[in-house]
């Protein structure tokens, strides 16, 4: 069965972005299709940024593109129990760049921060890595992590280190 015109266009865009990432990789981020037959599902490894409780950890994730990409953003889900204010218990990442206009129930994301077709996989991956340095305060997906970060940063960092050490043992 042939791909629809929308799917063919999205597939072409995703392949172009993958080629660009291979040509210009980012330190601390490795990403690409999980297998060559499905450009719509990528595995991602994000190195925890230096100077954070995530430093030294490799945080695996799954990036899933909709057939309507780039009109709609992909979804990213971290694998394992990553303790972070912007990561839901199921691993789903909640940050502004992954929201389309009108998709933010709290209305805290600025329009410039949200998804638009001019955004890219590269920008998403950099934003995800950046959230480990500076969590998005308005996009809380894990209230327990958010409350602990605000109340007791030392205990928050201890909890993070335990969560990422369990991921390393998977």
The residues with which 38 forms a beta bridge, in sequence order, are 35
Q: What is the mean pLDDT of residues 90-95?
A: 96
Helix 143-151 vs helix 153-168: crossing angle, to nearest 10: 130
Of 5 and 130, the structure prediction assigns the larger pLDDT to 130
Q: Measured between alpha carbons, how far is 75 from 130 in angstroms, rounded to an integer?
A: 17
Q: What is the mean pLDDT of residues 133-150?
A: 96
Look at residue 160 and tell me whether its pLDDT is greater than 50: yes
The string of pLDDT tens digits covering residues 117-137 is 989 999 999 999 999 999 999
* In contact, 95 and 139? CB cutoff 8 Å: yes
Output the pLDDT for position 104: 47
Q: What is the mean pLDDT of residues 99-104?
A: 66
How do the domains of the chain map onto residue ranges?
A: 5-168
| 109 confidence band (pLDDT: 50, 70, 90) | low
Q: Measured between alpha carbons, how far is 118 from 10 in angstroms, rounded to an integer?
A: 13
Smallest CA-to-CA distance from 44 within 62, 24, 56 is with 62
Predicted TM-score (pTM) of the model is: 0.88
Q: Measured between alpha carbons, how far is 45 from 34 in angstroms, rounded to an integer?
A: 12
Output the pLDDT for position 1: 44
Superfamily (CATH) of domain 5-168: Ubiquitin Conjugating Enzyme (3.10.110.10)
Look at residue 112 and tell me whether its pLDDT is greater than 90: no
Q: Measured between alpha carbons, how far is 27 from 122 in angstroms, rounded to an integer?
A: 12
101-106: Cβ within 8 A, 24+ apart: 106/138, 106/139
| 169 confidence band (pLDDT: 50, 70, 90) | low
What SS3 state is found at 115?
A: coil
Look at residue 35 and tell me whether its pLDDT is greater than 60: yes
| 48 confidence band (pLDDT: 50, 70, 90) | very high
Look at residue 37 and tell me whether its pLDDT is greater than 60: yes
Look at residue 56 and tell me whether its pLDDT is greater than 80: yes
């Amino acid at each position: 069965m042939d791909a629809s015109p929308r799917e063919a266009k999205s597939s072409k865009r995703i392949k172009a972005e993958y080629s660009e990432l291979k040509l210009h990789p980012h330190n601390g981020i490795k990403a690409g299709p999980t297998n060559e037959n499905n450009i719509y599902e990528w595995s991602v490894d994000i190195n925890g940024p230096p100077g954070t409780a995530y430093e030294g950890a490799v945080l695996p994730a799954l990036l899933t593109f909709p057939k309507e990409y780039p009109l709609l953003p992909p979804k990213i889900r971290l694998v394992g129990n990553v303790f972070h204010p912007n990561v839901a218990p199921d691993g789903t990442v909640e940050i502004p760049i992954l929201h389309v206009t009108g998709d933010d129930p709290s209305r805290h994301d600025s329009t410039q921060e949200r998804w638009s077709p001019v955004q890219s996989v590269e920008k998403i991956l950099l934003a995800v890595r950046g959230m480990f340095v500076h969590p998005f305060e308005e996009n809380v997906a894990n209230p327990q992590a958010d409350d602990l970060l605000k109340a007791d940063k030392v205990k928050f960092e201890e909890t993070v280190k335990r969560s990422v050490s369990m991921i390393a043992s998977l």
